[in-house]
Structure 1
Amino acid sequence: MLKATVSMGKSNAEPFFFVPGANGKFAIVSDDENIEPRYVERANLLSVIATENTVHNRLLHGFITNYRDFRSAEKCVELRSFPALVKHYSFKKRMPRCGGALLMSGASALRVRTKLFKDMGDKKAQRLLQDESEKARHRSNQKLPVISTDDFSKDSSLPFVIECRNFYNYYHFTTESMIYLQMYRDYALSGDIHFLTGGTSEVQPYLLRAVEDFYPDLFDKVSFLTGGTRYKKAIIPFNTNHLYHCSDSTVMKDIEEGAGFSNNLKDGDLRPETTENYRWIFRNSRDEYIQRHRDDVLKRTYVHEGSRYVYVSRKQGASRQRSVVGEDALIEMLSRYGFDVVQFENMTPLQQASLCHSVDILVSAHGAGFTNMLYGKPGSSFIELSHLQTARHRFGDFNMHASASGVNYTHFFADHDVGESDEVPNLHHEGHAGISISERVLQKLELFIASLVQKDEQKKFFSRIEGLRRKEDHATLISVINLDTLRSAVCPRTVGFLAEAYEKTEMTQEALKAYSTLVSLVPYRADLWAKVLELAEALADEQTVSWALEMSESYRRARWMRWCRTEHGAIAIQG
């Protein structure tokens, strides 16, 4: 258990966290001393809320609205990373320390925070974090120690020590650890490479194969170590994300206005060391070595032979969780649009990367395999099947991968595989819930796929419908639409034309039914709720009037979605 030995409020207390520059035990390797973050293109995030659970539907609309209004940014902050020469470095019980104080860097900083909150309690841990970071920001000798590459050359053969969450999760290993092998190359390091974790599990073969596939020249230098380790002197990868909270603008310039954070954040607002501020930066940033790793891996990939449309299924028995209920029907539907079915478990990491860089559309359930979106080609579509539990606990995990690759990253929200309960499964107690794809949810996914695959056919269909509408040939329009069982069921634009035609031919009951279907598809449209109310009142349908009044109000905050709907029906999430 971590115990805070720091004396709160006393300026002469020993620091609980290691502060680069406070002593001679740390120096980054750089020739220009420039540690300023860069601003790059953000992830292109889209959402399709297809869940049939009405409670979850409202919650997801609220979640996406909150993300857009309070958690997004106009640019992705690319944070700099450097090799750091450290003295008296240790790693024990998952905690990296330098000179005995906790060293906060990269993803390990989040794990340190998590353990602090678990061991000390929320209030005490938060106070410690804020007090320590504030003291660090107000140091009189704010300067990050730097050593030139020439001066560093005599130490380049020291062990290169990389912290890992564990030795089995492909997402964490790739995103937080393996990317720094490219740093090893960039700075011409020559020592042994030590991947460290506090766990006791054996390294999984696919992680070994990933190193061998992507860094074959370094494979023989790599060791995977568990348990406690100490180094009198070593080299570590140092990411500047946590440094932002422990420094002022003389060390790292403010990022809030440059990145265009939502909610009108001003420069310096994210400096305080709070959990929310940390997460805010995490969701809208990436390590520069995410991009450098991608660029090098793509030099090794090849053109994958096969369909440009792919569904990634899970090998039976590969995971006890995250089943896809209705997968047979899903695969049958996708096969009609030319999709191949693959399983990443049967492919090497290089084969997975090559596949992802070759495809135009990839569909898969949420999971570590989505890390391969990092290798996708710009403009391709990666569609993640998930649900409300994933949104609450894992939303944003792959933003950095989508930002680096330039793909269109769509969150397709279906239902949990727990029946009709309105309760959201507890991730920490019950694990990852599986995904349930009902017939209607499948129709919504098919419509989205068709809009991507059959653009010419879709254009012809709407050209014909709009022509009939201009001619006011309502009878033919109604007939043509009703013959198209997919669009007449789940396409808002089509159902809108149908409802309008029914209304103009004074088929009021049919019009009300069509408008009711329409608002179930686009519940953020206040004008359509008004139309439902008008028709329901004309028919003296008090039940529908009551329903429409309640639902219209519950979706009020999501009305912005009307102006953020893309041509293929997804909602562009970020403002």
Structure 2
Amino acid sequence: MRNQVDHATAPEALFLDPARDAGVGFVTAPAYWWRLRPAAVIEGFAASGSDAMSTRIEAHLRQVKRHRTFAQVAEFNVVPVLLTGAAFRKSFAMAGGKCLLNGAAGARLLNRFGYEERAGEDAEAVLARYFAGCRAANGAARLPLVAVPQGVDFAVECRNTFNYFHFLTETLPQLTVLDQMDFRGRVFLHFPNHPDKTRAFVRGFVEAVFPELAARLVLERAPKDYASVLSAYSFQWTYFQMPPSVIGSLDGLAPSDLSWHGHGGSRTTRAVLAMNSVESSLLALRTRALRAVAGGDFSHLPKRVYIARAPGQARARAMQGEAALVELLEAFGFVRLAFEDLTPLEQIALMAQAEVVVSAHGAGFANMLFANPKATVIEIGTLQTAQIRGGDFWPLAHASGCRYVSFIADHHSDAPEELPEFVTEGIVPVHLTERGLGRIMAFVAALCGHVPRLNRAEDVARLGGQLLRSGHLTPAEAVLDRHRDLVSGSADLCLMQADLHKAREEWGAELIALYAARQADPTRWQTLAQVLWCARRLGKTEVQVWAIRLLQAEFPDRIAELAKGRDWVQQLL
């Protein structure tokens, strides 16, 4: 059982604290623990053929937006370390007899610990006490610095050597820490699976992005022990081991405390942190990859692309309705491709120069890391993938800065309105109904400059709102222009017009549109609240007084809520 670890062990004996436990030495003093960076535009929309399923999808998306989405994201530092008494077991690493809470491998260790049955104790409560003890002891934490001995090798863990997503997003980025030092040794990748399962992309991407390391790359199955070896260390989960006085706090970015519980390190908090953070090594991998294709001729690659699964190369999760989708996409200049049919450099270049990429949920979204910031990457998934894997791709969007849009369609199953059980059914394929296909294609067509003519104001408002929320102001304006005959008298479309002006900081035009929305539907109290905020931005006191008096007269039960914590509203009253 040399390749196993006892997850029932007390966390103090199981997990390594880099500030207090022996086994990890830092090659240089880290410049930072984490720092803030802009968040990507990430949105999700319902594309179900069922009203009931659409309601469930929209409720999930609201919950994610309101309780799990930060306004900015944290970039966690990943640095070179020297491990002593190192051991690579399955898909994680140890030093000094304790497991490293390091990146994705650390997340899996923490999750596995939380699922362990413990007599008379809740595993998550045990973990919370462990983190609290670390924070209490680390008030004067100092990370140990070490000198690197001659001839030492470098080693990192792999989840496996056949899953593209895990390799590209977890293993390959760790090699970038070698850019911080003059390294001449061998590079070991340790993995748990049989070597025969290793896919060609492992060596292919190392050769393409790290050509100087290719001849020194060694793939070796775990377990493997070292007296000392270099590796990479992420401070992502160190966030819970250090007190705020040392590592700082992200609490101010959390939209609520429903899923985020500060430094406590609960399962939901860890999940929220993972989707609202990016590791510096991932950013460094993006920089390296784009540098590798700079100056190359990739003019044969399309700018609009549908990514399909290559037969026999990826898991068989064929999307029902794919043929109809591809046929319609091709009418707008899209080309159907499979990443498996491209070289590593072509995959990088394809994403770097693409305008719009569409694909069903899958490991290929790892390549969103290489997307250019003006690109729109569209995922077609299900409520199941949104709930259990919804945040997996967020760090890739944060790293690239692209627009990442998910359309959540139906499950291809005998009971499509029931949420499939992952344990028994795995990931269930997508079923794209006629209505779902129509909503996706309306969005894509508008992006491509071909706004469809819609008959109902509610459909226009939906499409325009989707474009606005995903940062596409010009196509959203085109949608309104195409349907000017429907705008007058529609509160939803007047509000969309107001939102468009607001996004462009055209406050006066926003106020006019809000007034039109108020005229179209005087029963909506939120419109008066929007008038109030807009008039405040413009410094129009008389309009603020008008709005607040109408609110008092028509919606008296809302005044206390609006005035709470806002002295300027109290003064108007």
TM surpasses 0.5: yes
Match of 2:279 among 284, 287, 298: 287
Mapped partners of 1:164, 1:23: distance in 2: 24
Q: Give the Cα–Cα distance (whole angstroms) in 2 for the partners of residues 395 and 287 of structure 1.
A: 18
Gap change, CA 1:35 and 1:496, over 3 Å in 2? same
> What is the CA distance between 1:499 and its match in structure 2?
10
Q: 1:307 to 1:17 in 2, by over 3 A?
A: closer
Query: Residue 358 of structure 2: SS of its match in structure 1?
Result: strand
1:324: Cα distance to partner?
1.2
The aligned counterpart of 1:261 is: 254
- Give the corresponding residue for 2:328: 333
2:47 to 37, 50, 59: 50
Maintained 8 Å contact 2:161/2:191: yes
Greater relative contact order structure (CA < 8 Å, 6+ sep): 1
Amino acid at match of 1:327: E
Structure 1 residue aligned with 2:84: 87
Q: Residue 336 of structure 2: SS of its match in structure 1? A: strand
Aligned residue in 2 for 1:176? 170
Change (3 A) 1:30 1:325: same
Q: Counterparts of 2:102 and 2:228 in 1: how far apart (Å)?
A: 17
Other-structure match for 1:113:
110
Query: Which structure 2 residues correspond to residues 397-408 of structure 1 after superposition, within 5 A?
Result: 397-408=392-403
CA distance in 1, matches of 2:338, 2:90: 35
In structure 2, the CA distance between the partners of 1:451 and 1:24, relative to structure 1 (3 Å rule), is same
Deviation at 1:500, TM superposition (A): 7.9
Cα distance in 2 for residues equivalent to 1:34 and 1:210: 29
Partners of 1:3 and 1:374 lie apart in 2 by 33
Evaluate the alpha carbon distance shift between residue 305 and residue 130 of structure 1 in structure 2; reply closer, same or farther with a 3 A threshold.
same
Q: Give deviations 1:57-103, integer Å, cap 9, x for gaps.
A: 11111111111111010101000111111211112244422211222
Q: Could you tell me which residue of structure 1 aligns to residue 20 of structure 2? A: 22
Equivalent residue letter for 1:91:
F
Please tell me whether the aligned partners of residues 117 and 126 of structure 1 are also in contact (alpha carbons under 8 angstroms): yes
Q: Report the CA distance between 1:496 and its aligned residue.
A: 10
Q: Is the 8 A contact 1:325 1:437 kept in 2?
A: yes
Q: 1:141–1:419: structure 2 CA closer, same or farther, 3 Å change rule?
A: closer
Q: Which residue does 1:384 correspond to in 2?
A: 379
Give the distance between the partners of 1:360 and 1:176, measured in 2 at CA: 26
- Do residues 413 (structure 1) and 417 (structure 2) align? no
**8 Å contact 1:105–1:239 — kept in the other structure?**
yes
Larger deviation: 311-320 or 236-245?
Answer: 311-320
Query: Would the alpha carbon gap of residues 318 and 5 (structure 1) be closer, same or farther in structure 2, given more than 3 Å must change?
Result: closer
Map of 1:444 onto structure 2: 439
Q: Could you tell me the percent identity over the aligned residues?
A: 24
Amino acid of the residue matched to residue 254 of structure 2? F
Check the 8 A contact 2:410/2:416 in 1, yes or no: no
Moved more, 67-76 or 102-111: 102-111
TM-score, length-scaled by structure 2: 0.75
Question: Cα deviations across residues 483-512 of structure 1 (Å, max 9, x unaligned)?
Answer: xxxxxxxx899899569899xxxxxxxxxx
Change (3 A) 1:358 1:55: same
Matching residue within 165, 182, 192 for 1:188? 182
Q: Distance in 1 between matches of 2:163 and 2:241?
A: 30
Tell me the TM-score normalised to structure 1 length: 0.75
> What SS class does the counterpart of residue 226 from structure 2 fall into?
strand
CA contact 1:304–1:358 (8 Å) conserved in 2: no
8 Å Cα contact 2:92-2:106 kept in structure 1: no
SS in 2 for 1:78: strand
Alignment partners' CA distance in 2, 1:145 and 1:499: 61
Within 5 Å, which residues of 2 pair with 1:280-429? 280-301=272-293, 302=296, 303-419=298-414, 421-429=416-424
More off after superposition, 368-377 vs 417-426: 417-426
Deviation at 1:169, TM superposition (A): 1.0
The one-letter code sitting in structure 1 at the alignment partner of 2:76 is L
1:253-293 per-residue CA deviation (whole Å, 9 max, x = no partner) reads 12222xx2211799x95211211111111010010111111
Instruction: Give the letter aligned to residue 271 of structure 1.
Output: H
Structure 1 CA distance for aligned equivalents of residues 487 and 68 of structure 2: 37
In structure 2, the CA distance between the partners of 1:74 and 1:235, relative to structure 1 (3 Å rule), is: same
Alpha-carbon distance between aligned partners in 2 of 1:275 and 1:432, rounded to the nearest angstrom: 22
When residues 431 and 160 of structure 1 are mapped into structure 2, their CA distance, relative to the original with a 3 A threshold, is: same
- Structure 1 letter corresponding to 2:47: A
The size of the alignment, in residue pairs, is: 468
Q: Which runs of 5+ in 1 are unaligned?
A: 9-13, 467-490, 503-524, 532-575
Residues 402 and 5 of structure 1: CA distance in aligned 2, closer, same or farther (over 3 Å): closer
Q: How far apart, CA to CA, are the structure 1 residues paired with 2:8 and 2:258?
A: 32
Q: CA deviation at 1:127?
A: 2.9
Shift of residue 410, structure 1, vs aligned partner: 0.5
Counterparts of 1:193-232 in structure 2, within 5 Å, are 193-201=187-195, 202-232=197-227
Q: Cα offset for 1:146? A: 3.9
The answer to whether the 8 Å contact 1:156/1:190 transfers is no
Please give the secondary structure, in 2, of the residue aligned with 1:84. Answer: strand
Say if 1:411 and 1:431 are closer, same or farther in 2 by CA, change over 3 A.
same
Secondary structure at 1:166 match in 2 = coil
How far the C-alpha of 1:5 sits from its partner, in A, is 4.2
State how far apart, in whole Å, the 1-side matches of 2:21 and 2:354 are. 51
Is 2:61 aligned against 1:64? yes
- Call closer, same or farther: CA 1:140–1:407 in 2, change over 3 Å: closer
Cα drift, residue 427 of structure 1: 2.0
The code of the aligned residue for 1:2 comes to D
Contact 1:79 1:241 in 2 (8 A): yes
CA displacement at 1:35 relative to structure 2 = 2.6
Corresponding position of 2:161 = 167
Alpha-carbon distance change, 94 to 289 in structure 1, aligned in 2, over 3 angstroms: closer
**Considering only aligned residues, what root-mean-square deviation do their CA atoms show, in Å?**
3.2
Secondary structure at the counterpart of residue 165 of structure 1: coil
Measured after TM superposition, the shift of residue 34 of structure 1 is 3.0
1:126–1:492 CA distance, 2 compared to 1 (3 A): farther
Instruction: Tell me which amino acid in the other structure corresponds to 2:256.
Output: N
